[in-house]
Each structure stands twice: as C-alpha cells, then as structure tokens.
Amino acid sequence: MEKEELKKVIMLGLPIAVKYENIKQKRDSIVFPIFIGSLVISLILLSFLVISLPGINKTIVTFGFFYSVKELLKLSLGIVLIFAFVPVLNLVPLSIGSLILIPRNKSLTNEMSNVQTEFNQITNLPSTFNNTKALNKFNDYLYSGRATNLQECSSIYFNEFKQVSSNIALEAEIPSITPRNI
C-alpha cells in the first residue's frame, strides 16, 4: 500500500481498533470477580471449618485466624488446614463463577472475532496491527516522512519494538552489575 491509500486505511481502522480494544478489556476483566469471589468464599468456609473443630478455643479464633501464643500446636494445625483446604474450597466459587461468566466470555470472544474480521475486511492490514498504538505510530511515520508504504511502516515499528525490548532487558541487568563484576 502506498502513502495516501495507507493514510485512508489507517483512518478507517482506528475506530475499529478502539472498539476491539474496549471489547478485549471487558473480556479480560471478567477474571477478577472470580478471583475475589473465590478468596472471600474460601475465607468464610475455612473459618467455619476451623471454628467447628473440637478443642480449638473459639473465642481466640477470629476471621483472620489468630491463635494465642501458648497454643502453637493449634497454630500448626490451622496452617495445615489452610494449605490443605483452601485449594479445595476455591473450586466452589471458581465453578460458580465459571458457570455465570463463561457465556459472557464466549459472547465477548465472538464479538472480538467479528470486530477482527471487520478490521481485516475494511483495512486489508494484518491483524497484528489491530490496535491504536500501531495505527497511530504508522500515521506518525507517514506524516513525518519516515515511511512511504506499509512495509516500511511495519519495519520501523518492529525495529522500535526490538529496541525497546532490548532496553528493558539491559535495564534489568544493570542492578546485577557491581564494582566487583567490572
């Protein structure tokens, strides 16, 4: 694609990319309620389980599972119960959340694929560039004169991505360099 045609395609693709990103954000956010629900229900069920055990001082056991110092044996029992039963208890809210949220997740996934198909049909750009960041960068490359066609735009975009990735890797290595290592 040449410069003028690519500019038109980018302007047509930007609203579709915004729509796609909004749907993707909604779909990605449905996992959070499952996590919070599983955490709350697990703590409630585990507190009922610990309180119902015989021989544990029920006035000391609170929602936070605090034990007195003199009852270290019971503390270790509580720790074992937490690590043994929390994964099992997490299955309950996860299954409930999955039953409620799976249809929503499927509908959002179908909507995302429909928007992706619409983007591909209207713009004829690869699906890799179905995001506002890439399209805005392409627009900048075209207006600044750094690129004149799609191939040059994608080449510059991927080179910048590689450079940023290598800079991040370099920044991660800098703390490990000490005067002894030099």
Q: Is there a contact between 142 and 152 (Cβ–Cβ < 8 Å)?
A: no
Higher pLDDT, 26 or 97: 26
Overall number of domains in the chain: 1
| Assigned domain for 90 exists | yes
Buried b (16+ CB within 10 A) or exposed e, 89-108: bbeebbeebeeebeeeeeeb
pLDDT tops 80 at residue 142: yes
| Assigned domain for 138 exists | no
| Assigned domain for 111 exists | yes
> For position 118, what pLDDT does the model report?
94
| Assigned domain for 158 exists | no
> Coil, strand, or helix at residue 2?
strand
Is 0.85 surpassed by the pTM of this model? Answer: no
| Assigned domain for 26 exists | yes
Tens digits of residue pLDDT in 83-130: 666 666 667 666 666 677 778 878 888 999 999 999 999 999 988 899
d(CA 35, CA 46): 16
Residues 6+ away with beta carbon under 8 Å from 104? 30
d(CA 139, CA 142): 5
d(CA 61, CA 50): 8
| Assigned domain for 151 exists | no
| Assigned domain for 146 exists | no
Instruction: Identify the domain containing residue 122 by its residue range.
Output: 3-126
| Assigned domain for 162 exists | no
pLDDT tops 80 at residue 3: yes
> For position 159, what pLDDT does the model report?
94
